[in-house]
Structure 1
Amino acid sequence: MPVTALYFLPASSPDSNPTQDILAKLTSHYDPSPLLPWTLSHRIFREVPSAQLPVQSSSSLTNGVDKAKSSGPRFLQILNLSHHAPRTFVAITSAHSASQTRAGTPASSNISAEAASGEPATIVSIPAGPPSEEFIQLVVSKFGPLWQQRQILSLGNGHAFEVGDFRVRVGELRQGGSGGGQMGRGAVCEVTCVGEEAEQGKDGWEAGEAVVKGFWEGLALHGAREVYWVPGLGDGEGTIRQWCEILRPR
């Protein structure tokens, strides 16, 4: 299967433009062939503290610490990706979901086996368009006591390319509604290896992941948050789980 990795390169200052930095590296290192532009929209709701159910079992206590409290709140994420149309994806994730996420610095780049384990996020899909908008309005108007809207994200200047055995998507991540006042957060980049290394099975995944890492490292772009494997990745949602992880608030 194709192997995908996601990268978020934050803006280092109000004047920086990580999207252009990635595009400049791509064009200087390779000869990319343009593909159709792409879009992204993402809403995230945070579980209201009073709605969290306490765990009554004594097994939830370790050294006097309640695991239900230490695990943090859950998030309701609503995601649209133009290259996964015509579906809208709805995910329930936790504040400390287990995944292979790297912060982009040497001190935090080593991921333990424990961090790569855990329960996968719960994901369902609904038709995009009016049904999706109706669902959002339902959450906002009827489920406010349970879920509080945290942020709205969208994508600007979504570029896509074919680069040899890779498909690369790059865009500017913006925070804020469509009514104005959007703030640039940085750049997101999706790199997919579709070559022979990306074969079915564990060995194929590991080989493909190594190739994707090599491609990104060859661009010499530092400080990105990286997402590779996440629990449940092979269960049918493809990169949706990875997108929910990289867009989840820290």
Structure 2
Amino acid sequence: MPHTGVFFIPSSPNAPNIVGLLTERLRSVYSDEAIPIGRWVLEHKLMRDTPSCLPASAHAPNPAPKPRYVQFLSMTNYPKVGFIYASENVDGENPKTKTTTESGMIMSTVPNASSTEIFRHFVRCCEPIWCHRHSVSVTGAVYEVGDFRVRLGEVRQMQPHARPRGTIMEIEWKGPSMIAAALSTSFLDHDGSQIGNEMDIDGGIDSDMETPYIPTEAQIQLEYEQVSHLIKEFWTCIYNSNDSNNNKQLSAAAVQEAILIPDVGREVKQKIAQRRQPGWQEREKRRRKKRREAIALDRSWGGFSEKQQQQQDEEEEDIEGDVDLARQYMELFRFNR
């Protein structure tokens, strides 16, 4: 479950090479600690409902309907998962109707192939109702800097017209996390030794198991706030570096940030809340016991083979943290269109 912060610098007509400046500052501030580890690519598509032809006064005394969006996001660091961020279905004619989320948007995760097909369906069959406003892509490099992982790249609009839109920097905290420990699937045996993998048949089916410490919602929120301060300090150290040659060029740029945005941590808090419910530990122990028995008898579990089930578990373990990162990108890439 990563803690991340995303910073976006919009492009201007006479903008310098912001990617190059930030890369130079990253290496100058952290010198040998900034280790390049690869490349990354991101793609974002925005759909918006077709605006009404009626003026706002035609909806009086009710307010004019707000625009609705459907956003699609894919990242090479999560190649199997596609993210869909859609406006809630709220009746604009009824002012008493309220959204169930703070942001008014609902996040869904689907296989990447399904996300691509859903977008094609919108373009082919829903064009009179929904219009494709724009598509942007990001290509950049990934750096390891101590307890941080930095992704830096240039944002370019591909549709409807190709043009640069700015620079993006994602800062991910890789250090210790109480939330990550609480979401871990590892359990402890009765003697305190860890049963490293729930697929371990030799781990003792009837061994006593205990759950890790489950933080309260206030503690979860406190960790989000504390890590956000660390990420902002990291960004400030790079952005406001004492560089006499390039300081004026960066200081004039308006930076948009997305860290503690609405609904951040929503899925994480829900999953941890389930672990605080009475009887969760017993239900989890029974589930693990049945899975070990099925594997020992060389049977599939839930329609999956052992290898397929392991792959599914690995994807599910990261999905809650991924949606927070996807929200941050989508809030920035909407561009108020």
Superposition TM-score, scaled by structure 1 size? 0.76
Q: Could you say which structure has the larger radius of gyration?
A: 2
Query: What is the CA RMSD across the aligned residues, in angstroms?
Result: 2.7
Which residue of the other structure, out of 313, 316, 326, is the alignment partner of 1:240?
326
Query: Does residue 208 in structure 1 map to residue 227 in structure 2?
Result: yes
Q: Which has the higher strand share?
A: 1
Alignment of 1:1-250 (within 5 A): 1-14=1-14, 16-30=16-30, 31-50=33-52, 66-69=62-65, 72-93=66-87, 118-119=102-103, 121-129=105-113, 131-156=114-139, 158-177=140-159, 182-196=162-176, 198-200=177-179, 201-219=220-238, 220=240, 221-222=250-251, 223-234=254-265, 235=267, 236=320, 237-250=323-336
- Residue 49 of structure 1 aligns with an amino acid whose one-letter code is P
For residue 65 of structure 1, report the CA deviation from its aligned partner.
Answer: 6.8
Aligned length: 212
Q: Which has the higher contact order (CA 8 A, sep 6+)?
A: 1
Gaps of 5+ in 1: 55-60, 95-116
8 Å Cα contact 1:120-1:231 kept in structure 2: no
For residue 203 of structure 1, report the CA deviation from its aligned partner.
Answer: 1.7
- Residue 91 of structure 1 aligns with an amino acid whose one-letter code is Y
Gaps of 5+ in 2: 89-100, 180-219, 241-249, 268-319
8 Å Cα contact 1:6-1:226 kept in structure 2: yes
Tell me the alpha carbon deviations over residues 31-65 of structure 1, each in whole angstroms, 9 at most, x when there is no partner.
3011221100111011112499x9xxxxxx9xx77
Q: Which has the higher helix share?
A: 2
For residue 74 of structure 1, report the CA deviation from its aligned partner.
Answer: 1.4
CA–CA separation in structure 2 for the residues paired with 1:16 and 1:230 = 29
User: 1:66/1:176 Cα in 2 relative to 1: closer, same or farther (>3 Å)?
Assistant: same
8 Å Cα contact 2:225-2:260 kept in structure 1: no
User: 1:35/1:66 Cα in 2 relative to 1: closer, same or farther (>3 Å)?
Assistant: farther
Tell me the alpha carbon deviations over residues 49-87 of structure 1, each in whole angstroms, 9 at most, x when there is no partner.
2499x9xxxxxx9xx774453xx3111101111112211
Tell me the alpha carbon deviations over residues 152-190 of structure 1, each in whole angstroms, 9 at most, x when there is no partner.
10113x11011111110001000014xx96211111110
CA–CA separation in structure 1 for the residues paired with 2:172 and 2:39 = 16
**3-state SS of 2:324 partner:** coil
The answer to which of 236-245 and 198-207 deviates more is: 198-207
